[in-house]
Chain A
Amino acid sequence: PLKNTNICFHNLQELRHSASLATKVFIQRDYSEGTVCRFQTKFPSELDSRIERTLFEETVKTLNSYYAEAEMIGGQSYLEGCLACATAYIIFLCMETRYEKVLKKISGYIQEQNEKIYAPRGLLLTDPIERGMRVVSFFHGRLFTAQNLGCKCDEKSSRCF
């Protein structure tokens, strides 16, 4: 229970740029099923003291299922492909592809996981798309209190809690 620690998610973004404060753990891609986007669920030893194994595995497995859904070759992808081809792919200039929709869901999921699970443990999970879908990275550093961070959220960015 971390009652007196307020972590503003907005300022967690700035944590990334201060390498001296955070160490990074990278979860690599799992290519056992080919070139589909999957990440290894093997628990890294650096996170041993930081987070429960089950929570970590749950996060990575959910991410993998999202990517599998995005890359699934089935009825919907055929329909999207054929329709787009018939319009000489001009439709892609206006419409969002299924993959992009799933990517939005993923970034929402990562943000939610950070707020609920990882930030209270002093960890930050980054979206794989920022690293070219090569790795999922975890940052860990000291826990900050609101005074240290000089929290300056505005209404538009995420809340301070």
Chain B
Amino acid sequence: MSAVMITRKVRKWEKLPGKNTFCCDGRVMMARQKGVFYLTLFLIIGTCSLFFAFECPYLAVNLSPAIPVFAALLFLFVMAMLLRTSFSDPGVLPRALPEEATFIEMEIEAANGNVPAGQRPPPRIRNVQINNQIVKLKYCYTCKIFRPPRASHCSICDNCVDRFDHHCPWVGNCVGKRNYRYFYLFTLSLSLLTIYIFTFDIVHVVMRSVDSGFLNTLKETPGTVLEVLVCFFTLWSVVGLTGFHTYLISLNQTTNEDIKGSWSGKNRVQNPYSHKNIIKNCCEVLCGPAYPSVLDRRGLMQEDSPASETSPPSSSSMNSVPQTTKTTAPLIPNEHTPDDVKPSIADSAEKTPSPKEEESPAPKLPPLASPETDAETSIIKDKAH
């Protein structure tokens, strides 16, 4: 009896390592924890709905119909930017395939020479000269690559991300090279929307109170109180965040570099990526080319081994987890952490918090790979002394 080969088109996103969730057959890419993202959506949509329901009818008639129209446009822009930031690939660097990883290991061993038994091997660092400054490229034990300059490993998503800024739980994704401008435009437009709604809430309350009295106004439009509360608290955080990122953009720095103090301090290297000109820096970050994703999420996997002829029927191929990779079903977060993910704790020293919390990255337990040889962990330990 011959084996029947049932082939199903397996797309590459199903086999991608890392803790991302994918939706719409690989078109949408997000982090695993999406709770805070849903909260963001709820707050924005909820507050704007209240605004359109309670304030806009009055303001359109008594002031100008342009007010709700502009609010609607602004709201749509905010949503578009939020969804683009959340759903796009931040600039994830694919992990090295076995041949490339072996090639790099051989290069490292050749560079290190013979290490006497019992001694720790020297840290895996490659020095590179950029614009006449020496920049150290670190080796990522999880992805088995030397990280390009400005890339960092996000332990929440378990990926190396190019030009890593931070992992934003509000947006449910990392912010990196590909989606930084959308993230910035999101915070900027959200600030404008918040200020707009706040201002017109006040205007509406004042105008209506002149006619009917303050308490009656609040009874007629109870949504106003909620909106003002939400806007008030949002204003401080989002406007502050926008200001902070405007400052970073003008210096061509990332949040990650700012938190670690990579370019500040007397003995440190000066930022080699800055053009020393605010306008040039802004133009590069905001008006630069739209980088393509190097993760071919929707490409088809190649069938390359004859053993695939006896593969199980297609219905179970979604559930069958290969030893080294984790498949993720759409929109269902995977709660299990397979054992092969534990060595990635080595890079949790690189974990950067969201800008809301200001905690210093703490080095975690040393796993199979040796974090003491990671120069960055040793710098953090120096700081702690």
> A residues bordering B, Cβ < 8 Å?
17, 19, 24, 26, 29, 31-35, 70-73, 77-78, 80-82, 84-85, 88-90, 92, 97-100, 103, 129-135, 137
Q: How near does chain A come to B82, taking the closest CB pair, in angstroms?
A: 11
| A88 and B72 alpha carbons, distance in the complex (Å) | 13
| A72 and B291 alpha carbons, distance in the complex (Å) | 12
For A89, the chain B residues whose CB sits under 8 A away are: 80-81, 84, 182
Q: Decide: B149 and A99 in contact? CB cutoff 8 A.
A: no
Supposing A81-B286, A88-B81, A89-B182 touch, asked if A35 and B292 sit within 8 A by C-beta, the answer is: no
B304 at the interface (CB under 8 A from A): yes
| A34 and B130 alpha carbons, distance in the complex (Å) | 5
Contact partner of B273 (CB less than 8 A), chosen from A35, A97, A103, A131, is: A35
For A130, the chain B residues whose CB sits under 8 A away are: 296
Question: Contacting chain A: which of B92-100, B196-204, B205-213?
Answer: B92-100
B103 at the interface (CB under 8 A from A): yes
| A131 and B101 alpha carbons, distance in the complex (Å) | 12
Q: Decide: A17 and B292 in contact? CB cutoff 8 A.
A: no
Q: Decide: B185 and A97 in contact? CB cutoff 8 A.
A: no
Q: Decide: A99 and B103 in contact? CB cutoff 8 A.
A: no
Q: Decide: A35 and B150 in contact? CB cutoff 8 A.
A: yes
Q: Decide: B304 and A17 in contact? CB cutoff 8 A.
A: yes
Q: How near does chain B come to A134, taking the closest CB pair, in angstroms?
A: 6
For A31, the chain B residues whose CB sits under 8 A away are: 128, 130, 135, 137, 148-149
| A34 and B148 alpha carbons, distance in the complex (Å) | 10
Q: How near does chain A come to B282, taking the closest CB pair, in angstroms?
A: 11
Chain B residue nearest to A82 in the complex (CB)? B287
Q: Decide: B292 and A73 in contact? CB cutoff 8 A.
A: no
Q: In terms of DSSP, what is the predominant structure of the interface of chain A? A: mixed
For A98, the chain B residues whose CB sits under 8 A away are: 289-290
| A2 and B94 alpha carbons, distance in the complex (Å) | 38
Q: Decide: B148 and A77 in contact? CB cutoff 8 A.
A: no
Q: How near does chain A come to B257, taking the closest CB pair, in angstroms?
A: 13
Chain B residue nearest to A135 in the complex (CB)? B100
Q: Decide: A26 and B80 in contact? CB cutoff 8 A.
A: no
Contact partner of B80 (CB less than 8 A), chosen from A33, A78, A90, is: A90
Supposing A19-B99, A73-B283, A85-B185 touch, asked if A134 and B130 sit within 8 A by C-beta, the answer is: no
Supposing A17-B304, A29-B148, A33-B131 touch, asked if A73 and B287 sit within 8 A by C-beta, the answer is: yes
B302 at the interface (CB under 8 A from A): yes
Q: Decide: B290 and A131 in contact? CB cutoff 8 A.
A: no
Q: Can you list 21 contacts pairing A with B, beta carbon distance less than 8 Å?
A: A24-B103, A31-B148, A31-B149, A32-B128, A34-B272, A35-B148, A35-B273, A71-B289, A73-B289, A78-B283, A80-B290, A81-B286, A81-B287, A84-B290, A85-B185, A97-B290, A98-B290, A131-B97, A131-B100, A132-B295, A137-B100
Chain B residue nearest to A70 in the complex (CB)? B289
For B182, the chain A residues whose CB sits under 8 A away are: 89
Supposing A73-B288, A98-B289 touch, asked if A88 and B149 sit within 8 A by C-beta, the answer is: no
For B296, the chain A residues whose CB sits under 8 A away are: 130
Q: Decide: B287 and A78 in contact? CB cutoff 8 A.
A: yes
For B80, B288, B295, the residue with the greatest tally of chain A CB atoms inside 10 Å of its CB is B288
Q: How near does chain B come to A20, taking the closest CB pair, in angstroms?
A: 12
Chain B residues 119 to 153 lying within 8 A of chain A, measured CB to CB, are 128-131, 135, 137, 145, 148-150
For A82, the chain B residues whose CB sits under 8 A away are: 287
Chain A residue nearest to B294 in the complex (CB)? A132
B278 at the interface (CB under 8 A from A): no
B372 at the interface (CB under 8 A from A): no
| A159 and B182 alpha carbons, distance in the complex (Å) | 43
Chain A residue nearest to B80 in the complex (CB)? A88
B297 at the interface (CB under 8 A from A): no
Q: How near does chain A come to B7, taking the closest CB pair, in angstroms?
A: 16
Contact partner of B290 (CB less than 8 A), chosen from A33, A72, A92, A129, is: A92
Q: How near does chain B come to A74, taking the closest CB pair, in angstroms?
A: 10
- The proximity string for B residues 170-202 relative to A, scoring 1 for CB distances below 8 Å and 0 otherwise, is 000000000000100100000000000000000
For B97, the chain A residues whose CB sits under 8 A away are: 131
Supposing A35-B163, A97-B292 touch, asked if A26 and B103 sit within 8 A by C-beta, the answer is: yes
Q: Decide: B292 and A103 in contact? CB cutoff 8 A.
A: yes
Chain A residue nearest to B299 in the complex (CB)? A130
Q: How near does chain B come to A99, taking the closest CB pair, in angstroms?
A: 5
4 closest pairs, A vs B, by CB? A88-B80, A17-B304, A81-B287, A132-B94
For A31, A70, A90, the residue with the greatest tally of chain B CB atoms inside 10 Å of its CB is A31
Known: A99-B289, A134-B145. 7 other contacts (CB 8 A): A26-B103, A31-B135, A33-B130, A77-B288, A81-B290, A88-B80, A133-B294
| A84 and B77 alpha carbons, distance in the complex (Å) | 12
